[in-house]
Structures are given as C-alpha cells and as structure tokens.
Structure 1
Amino acid sequence: MMRLVESLKHGQEKLESINTELKHRVESTLKTWPETINKKVTDIRNMSLPWTQYFHFFDEVEAQQPITEHKALSDKFIDLHQRLLASLGEESFVGEWVEVDQHKIDQFAEVTGDHQWIHTNPEKAALESPFKQTIAHGFLTLSLIPQLTDTVNPEKNDYPEARLVVNYGMNKVIFPAPVKAGRRIRARTRIIDIKSLRRGLELVREVTIEIENSKRPACIAEMILRLYD
C-alpha cells in the first residue's frame, strides 16, 4: 500500500512539473506574437505595393506623443495638426442637397443584388410598407458620403499638406431614419478626434446625413482618415 501511495505521489509531482513547463512555453510564445506578426507583415509589405509601407498593426498610433516631437515630419504638416486641433469639434462642412430618387435606388439594388420590395417595388410598398412608399437602402445612403462631402471632387483637397490620404475605415454607423424615394439629403461634418501617427495623423470625422424637412438624420457615421506626410 505504501508503495502504491508513493507511486501515485511521484506521478502527481511529475504531472505538475510537465504542466509548469508547458505553461512557461505557452507564455513565452504568446509574449513574442506581436513581434513575430509585425515581422511577417513587414516581409509581406516589402514584397507588395509601395503604399502599404504606411500601415502598421501594433505600434502605429502614438496618441500620447506630441506631434512636434516627430522630427521627421515637415513644418507644414505640424501646422496642419495645429489648425485641426484649433477647430476640433466644430462643424467644418455643410454639403449641397442631393435627391435620392427611385432610379438611384434601383441602380444600387442592381449592383448589390438587394432587390427587397421595400426598396424596389413602389406599388407593393404603397400598400404594405409602414412608410407607404419605397425607401433607400441604408448602405446606399452610406455609399453617397464621398459625393455628399464633396471628397470626390479632384479640384478640392481638404488636406493639401498631406502626401497621402487613406480611408482607414469606420468606428460606427447608425441609420436613425429611412430616406424615402424622392427625398433630398445632405451631409454635415466635423472632426471629433485626432491622434498622432509615426508618419502623420489619424482623424475621426463625424458625418451626419440630414433628410430635408426631417428632425431625425438618415445616417451618422464616424469615418477614420489617415494623413501621411
């Protein structure tokens, strides 16, 4: 009996030793993951298009470091940062009214494959829709932001100091109210956040899409732009 107890005790100690060693190996591996992934991304980036050199996944944003400490940035880019900070939170753009007619809705349905009757069948919508007529797709309203904010105009550049402006994505998007076919919409924008990057700035631009004669907006989106010196 004593031998059996000693054998079991020895086996338990050996198992605990294996578990401890395995835990150390896993922790060591996890600690090196960010460095390993950054190296992989760098290797891929160097073999890809030149513009991808601007993207980093673990250490790009340096929100706590003043931009004036980035010695590689040009004076005009530092001036741009100061100008943006001075107007942070203020409305910077109000666009022109744009009509969202049935033809535009049908074109969007054709491109995306979304032919739900609430968007594309005026007769059925008049009888069964709670809105009593067709409405635009939410993503159609979202896709019109470049036009509504006039950022597709080749003669207009909001940030001439930047060598490259990248649409980096969105933080959030909501659609508080539908856009009925034939209604007009327009955009209002403001910068609500600014962060420093190694080679430039990251801006969060809030875009509110208004519906003419409506108290509720059609869309509110937080767009992320990256400006590179």
Structure 2
Amino acid sequence: MDVFEYIKEKERSLRSRINSLDLKNASDAHLRQLSYFISHSLNNTLNNSWVSRIHLFFEPGSDPDVQSVKNPKVLDFYRDWQTRIGQEVFLGDWMLVDQSRIDRFADVTGDRQWIHTDPERARNESPFGGTIAHGFLILSLLPELTDTVNPERPPYPEARMVVNCGLDQVRFPHPVKASSRIRARTTLKSLTPAKRSVEMVNRIEVEVEGSGRVVCVADSVLKLYF
C-alpha cells in the first residue's frame, strides 16, 4: 500500500467511526462540532498538493529505499534476496555442546561459575540436574552454527566484504544442558540497500535436539559491501 492509499484507508476508517455515532440525537454540541472539524480537516488534507506529490513520487509497488541506488550489484542482490524476506533461508547441522567445550569457554572468559563447570555440585544443587552452557557460549557459536565463516562456502559470494554489525534483541529462553546437541535456523527479516552496500537483518533461533525448545533468539545485523 502506497502513502496515498494508506491515508485514504485511514480516512475511511475514521469516517466509519464518526458515522457510527448517533450525532443527530446527540445532546452534546461539542461532539457535533468535533465531527465537523475532523471531517473538514480530512478533506483539506486529502486535497492538499503535497499528498498528491507523494502519490506521484512513490508509484504503486515501488520501494523508496531503492530510488537512489545506482550500483547494479547492490540492486541485483537486493532484488534477489527481497523475495526471501520472511522465509527460512538456512538450517544448520547439529553441534555437540559437551562439558569440554563449556570448560574451555569458561577458561577463555573467566566465567567459572559452578553451574557451568562443576558437574557434581550441579547434579546436587542445580534445578537443571547438571551443568549448563553459558548463554554467551551459545551466542559465540552463531557464526559456525549458521555456517557463515566457511571461506570455501561463503553465504553471500556476490559481496566483496561482509561486516558483522552486531545483534539485536538477544534472549536465552531455555538453558542448554551439557552434552546436548543444538542447531540454528535463520530467517531473513529485512534488507536495506545503500549506495555500495545492503544491510541485512536475520532472525536466528537455536534449538535443542529432541526437545524442540528454542534456547537462543537473536537478530543478526550484517552489512554486505559490493
């Protein structure tokens, strides 16, 4: 829906609400005055020249983000991947998260809390019945889980460079118990083209084998340069 149609739709909705009021029998004069004011304002807005200019500038189905893009590689990539927005674009292989991997992460980060590194104590005191992986360990595994760091099989071979811009809305809904296997699903959320690049946002969900539980959800923001 373009800008003009959006305004028209809002107008129809508002007029419908106004008409649903019993204005003829309303005893409140202010209510009748308000109805007149709203109706008059809508007519003036829709007849305003700037609304017409917006309608002419944005043709139906056009994308304003693409208007200024001249780089043919950017346009080709954007138009190709735009059709996949909202779709799952990758499903990774299962990966084992064993105690050895957890311990090595603890050594690197200095986070040696017993709930991660002491199996005996975790069996006796943890509500999970054993050790669990660090949430940040699962997060750090996302590049490998999504197979985006394989130089022999780059996910976006058209781009000359891919930059990790960070993560949005990171959550760990459930823990990952030691010796579990996990994998990642990637769904394309959005694309934003620029002169020499495309910003890509992917929703990544990590699940545990056998349970169907999602243990990590994050929106990965990438910048692809062409």
Counterpart of 2:118 in structure 1 is 121
Counterpart of 2:64 in structure 1 is 65
CA distance in 2, matches of 1:67, 1:77: 10
CA distance in 2, matches of 1:190, 1:84: 12
**Which of residues 159, 162, 171 in structure 2 aligns to 1:162?**
159
Counterpart of 2:143 in structure 1 is 146
CA distance in 1, matches of 2:129, 2:160: 48
Displacement, 1:228? 1.2
Displacement, 1:170? 1.1
Which SS does the other structure have where 1:192 is aligned? strand
Counterpart of 2:200 in structure 1 is 203
Counterpart of 1:8 in structure 2 is none
Displacement, 1:162? 1.2
CA distance in 1, matches of 2:74, 2:193: 11
**Which of residues 176, 186, 197 in structure 2 aligns to 1:179?**
176
C-alpha contact 2:74 2:198 (8 A) present in aligned 1? no
**Which of residues 209, 212, 216 in structure 2 aligns to 1:212?**
209
C-alpha contact 2:69 2:75 (8 A) present in aligned 1? no
Which SS does the other structure have where 1:153 is aligned? coil
C-alpha contact 2:133 2:176 (8 A) present in aligned 1? yes
C-alpha contact 1:93 1:149 (8 A) present in aligned 2? yes
Deviations 1:129-182 (CA, angstroms, capped at 9, x unpaired): 000100000000000001111111111112122121100011110001100000
C-alpha contact 2:74 2:195 (8 A) present in aligned 1? no
CA distance in 2, matches of 1:131, 1:200: 45
CA distance in 2, matches of 1:214, 1:139: 21
Alignment CA distance shift 1:102-1:110 (3 Å): same
* TM-score between the two structures when normalised by the length of structure 1: 0.69
Counterpart of 2:9 in structure 1 is none
RMSD over equivalenced CA pairs, Å: 1.2
C-alpha contact 2:74 2:193 (8 A) present in aligned 1? no
Displacement, 1:68? 5.3
* TM-score between the two structures when normalised by the length of structure 2: 0.70
- % same residue: 51
Q: How many residues align?
A: 164
Q: Which runs of 5+ in 1 are unaligned?
A: 1-63
C-alpha contact 1:177 1:218 (8 A) present in aligned 2? yes
Query: Aligned AA for 2:150?
Result: N
CA distance in 1, matches of 2:225, 2:151: 19
CA distance in 2, matches of 1:66, 1:127: 57
The question of 1:130 aligning with 2:127 is answered yes
CA distance in 2, matches of 1:202, 1:77: 11
Q: Which runs of 5+ in 2 are unaligned?
A: 1-62
CA distance in 2, matches of 1:215, 1:100: 16
